[in-house]
Homo-oligomer: A and B are copies of this chain.
Amino acid sequence: MMGIEILSVLKKNNLSITGSRKKILELFQHTDGALAHADIEKKSGEHFDRVTIYRTLQTFVEKGILHTIPTADNSVLYALCKDDCSQGHHHDNHVHFICDNCNTAYCLDNTDYAKPQLPKGFKQTRTDVIVSGICIKCN
């Protein structure tokens, strides 16, 4: 059942179905938050080459399957795009919480907030809200 979704995501994006892609997508589907490259290296029981992981992540970002999350400590985090993220419609509203202690990233996409108003001449295509602090587990 999960498998079907993964395959259709890959096919929809004209990507060959390979072990690393399936495994990495699966990881994200089973993860509530976001993952860093290092997490993926550890969590994927099979050990794919680092380069393969880099390239897979990059491909997924290009296809709109994953997006990167800006972080205050500038580590690279990846998260699944919701739904038809590839259409670009849902790309403009991201709220994430990143724990200063355990570094876990939580998606808070359902959280409401008011977008800041921009000066004239600036056009917004996407807004990320990054809340740093201490998460419920580390409290």
* Interface residue ranges, A against B (CB under 8 Å): 67-76, 95, 97, 100, 106, 108, 111-136, 139
A117 pairs with B124, CB closer than 8 A: no
16 more A-B residue pairs beyond the given contacts A70-B70, A125-B134, with a C-beta to C-beta distance below 8 A: A68-B74, A72-B126, A72-B128, A74-B74, A74-B75, A106-B122, A113-B114, A113-B115, A114-B114, A119-B136, A121-B135, A122-B135, A126-B133, A127-B130, A128-B129, A128-B130
Copies assembled: 2
B95 pairs with A122, CB closer than 8 A: no
The prevalent SS among residues of A at the interface is: loop
**Shortest distance in angstroms between A56's beta carbon and chain B's nearest beta carbon?**
17
